[in-house]
Structure 1
Amino acid sequence: MDNIRIDKWLWAARFFKTRSLATDAVDNGRVRLDGERIKPARAVKIDDKLSIDNGAETWEVLVAGISDKRGAAPVARTLYQETDASIARREGELEGRKLYREPGTTIKGRPTKRDRRQLSKASE
């Protein structure tokens, strides 16, 4: 198998929960191939360099394998190889999130008037 759509590969490599989320990300320009926007039907090849923003994290990966089936996470991990710069950047962001927590993460559901006041006071 050497010809697979990028949205299907992103789903199989477990960057997105559903294929439709992967398609939307490609359409919105959050997935780039060598720095350029692509369409969801674009075929992915081995050694393609992808920049992927899945909302929570940003990844830079090299395609190491092709698959159209979503399998276990260890199997999905063999489909790509993350660049060293990407690993260092993600670890730095993780450390930053540990040191500074977002003020709204402790609020569950819709914030009350008191919660809104505390949020605005924290952002000043």
Structure 2
Amino acid sequence: MAGDSVRVDTWVWGVRLAKTRSQATAACRAGHVRVNGATAKASQAVRLGDEVRVRRNGFDTIYRVAGLPVRRGSAAEAAQHFDDLTPPPPPRVERPAEIVRDRGAGRPTKRERRDIDRLRGRGDAG
């Protein structure tokens, strides 16, 4: 292997995006790792400047390869080998305050139930 590239599974493991090399390889096999827009096999080489997308917890994270780690080091060392290009998540929508009914007030009326549904974001159901 040349000194200007490294396997993508080794890179993902070396920069601490996967806990083990086996997990990095499995992520590649499952299609969760993309290099420059194309699904990557575990043995695919990555070079400086390549864009690597890793699907973690249901979201894509985007990294630019800034270094090629020789071994898995500390988190501070790993952070030097990539630039995080992931856009910030969209702002969370504030939920309205919870509706509190007095204990013993009985079941809500049809009008109260519709108001509750509207406040919880369920639209005008029913």
The answer, yes or no, to whether TM exceeds 0.5 is yes
How many positions carry a matched residue from both structures? 94
Note the C-alpha offset of 1:88: 1.1
Measure, in 2, the Cα distance between the counterparts of 1:66 and 1:56. 26
Partner of 1:88, secondary structure, is: coil
Q: Which residue is 2:71 aligned to?
A: 69
CA contact (8 A) 2:5 2:45 kept: yes
What TM-score do the two structures reach when normalised by structure 1?
Answer: 0.67
Identical aligned residues as a percent: 30
What TM-score do the two structures reach when normalised by structure 2?
Answer: 0.66
Measure, in 2, the Cα distance between the counterparts of 1:62 and 1:5. 15
Measure, in 2, the Cα distance between the counterparts of 1:7 and 1:68. 13
Q: Which residue is 2:88 aligned to?
A: 88
Structure with the larger helix share: 1
Q: Which residue is 1:17 aligned to?
A: 19
Q: Give unpaired runs (5+ residues) of structure 2.
A: 96-121
Note the C-alpha offset of 1:34: 1.7
2:46 equivalent to 1:44: yes
Measure, in 1, the Cα distance between the counterparts of 2:73 and 2:80. 11
Moved over 6 A (4+): none
Alpha-carbon RMSD across the aligned residues, in angstroms, is 2.1
Amino acid at match of 2:49: D
